[in-house]
Amino acid sequence: MASLYSLKYWYTRRLGVIIQASVRRGISPDVWTAVGVIAAALGCGALVMGWWLLAFILLAARLGGANLDGAVARARGVSRPFGFVLNEIGDRVSDLFIMAGLVGLALRTGSSATTVYLTLVSLAAATLPTFISLAAAGAGAARLNGGPFGKTERCLAAVVAAALPQYLAMIAWVIIVGSAVTACVRLARTAAALAGRTGPALADTMAPQPPQDITRIGRSALEDEVAPGAQS
């Protein structure tokens, strides 16, 4: 589904000079993950203060960091599974900073209690698409990104809220509904991708097995039912 996420590769190409410099200097991809988180933390403060232009610059840097860590890892040939973990943690912390900035903006501007509650609900709703994407990856499906309302759209909505705080309640509703729709879209795509598959999920195959007596609960009764038929 079309969304601003489609601009990811356009943005990454614009960052080509930084990627090349990172490769030459041997800069770790984790540095760019940290840069993205720091930019989001500073952006949180800018959002609270209503400094929308500074917030725009900082959230653009946040998205840039999110692009650069993976791009530098691929360019340097140092991609690793734990890098995926760090990238996800960085993205989630950054998302929380941005959404917390909207809550702080509502409090600073003396918005109604309803508006404050809506920003809190939007903070929670914004996490739903990612939960589904990570659960899908754990089940063995593709890790889904993008919209219709992903992190790029959330950053844009946050900047608009900083510029027009009088519409904060409306923007919170946009984030809530957009996140819910995105979660449903990702869930439907995951269900389609996993349709017909049987057996344990990918994550379960790598998890420690329970004690043998636990695995036999219920199975022993089934074996007792099958046994007489097998002997006849």
| Mean pLDDT to the nearest integer, 18-43 | 97
Please provide the average confidence, as pLDDT, over all residues in the chain. Answer: 91
Residues of 123-154 as b/e, b for ≥16 C-beta within 10 angstroms?
A: bebbebbbebbebbbebbbeebbbbbbbbbbb
Residues 2, 130, 39, 28, Cα dihedral to 10° = -100
Contact 3, 153 (CB under 8 A): yes
For the whole model, what pTM was predicted?
0.88
- Give the Å distances, CA to CA, from 217 to 68, 203, 223: 49, 22, 11
Per-domain residue ranges for the chain?
4-231
Quote the percentage of the chain above a pLDDT of 70.
92
Task: Provide the pLDDT for residue 207.
Answer: 82
Minimal CA–CA distance to 159: which of 50, 26, 9? 50
Task: Provide the pLDDT for residue 130.
Answer: 94
Q: Under CATH, which number does the domain 4-231 receive?
A: 1.20.120.1760
Ordered DSSP codes for 16-57: HHHHHHHHHHT--HHHHHHHHHHHHHHHHHHHHHT-HHHHHH
Give the HSE-up count for residue 165: Cα atoms under 13 Å, Cβ half-sphere: 21
Quote the CA–CA distance of 40 and 61 in Å, as a whole number: 8
Higher pLDDT pick, 224 / 191: 191
